[in-house]
Amino acid sequence: MTDDAQQQAHPGTDRELDPPADHGEDTYRGSGRLEGRKALITGGDSGIGRAVAIAFAREGADVALAYLGEDEQADAEETARLVEESGRRARLIPGDLSRAEECLRTVDSAVEGLGGLDILVSNAAYQMTRHELQEIPDAEWDHTLAVNLSAYFHLVKAAEPHLREGASIIATTSIQADSPSPQLLPYAMTKRGIESLTASFAQLLGPRGIRVNAVAPGPIWTPLIPATMPPEKVADFGKDTPLGRAGQPAELAPAYVLLASDEASYISGAVLPVTGGRPML
């Protein structure tokens, strides 16, 4: 990344990211693949969520952006501006998705604000680097499971009654699900769980014509990295991939567009790796 590796307070913000991330602001060109659809993206204020929101809007979708709260407000408002600049509606929904009732409220707010729901992207996540098992607080373990894994379950359960045939659910998992780093133990475990949930959801909801898939990013340059990793890890972030660099959020967005679109009409229960060449077998 940089020789003088940046650090941020958790959860980090896009506006302070150095070097800035590319979310496709100047590069993504839509072709109407999601015209008229309504999408809810959790963690939609920054990073991968912002890139997906921009791409969805430029493909013709209205977008509800769920984000944690006040610290992310400025980032969320900037993402909403980019959605609206693309000619689509944006709805901002702050809330703590570690609580089941907030997952239900978030879905209801998105449906009310957009007039329905066609696409759910469960993307919000929590991670923290810990070098020893005894360093992991019990509360941090519980919180990581609640945000990364339980919220996915609660969001899908809340969204299902609103989804019609042709709807798409997409979760963000990680290469950590396949190649876990011990320093990210709780995070990696939840990402493996997301893959299992995705396979189960695909089988449960398939008879209704609802597709469920996941995208597995490799090292992607987002605010979560300088906010949760030590400086030496930030400085070398992504250099261990075959492509020799971290990916940008904009490089992930097309995978979500594909899985949300009719072009993926027979893809369900799949995990799509976007890892810079690191294998997931």
- Which residue numbers are catalytic? 187
CA distances from 237 to 29, 56, 222 (A): 28, 28, 11
Rounded-to-integer distance, Cα 239 and Cα 114, Å:
41
Rounded-to-integer distance, Cα 243 and Cα 275, Å:
9
**154: Cβ contacts below 8 Å, ≥ 6 apart:** 97, 100, 103, 104
Rg (CA), the chain: 17
Half-sphere exposure of 26 (CA within 13 A, CB side): 2
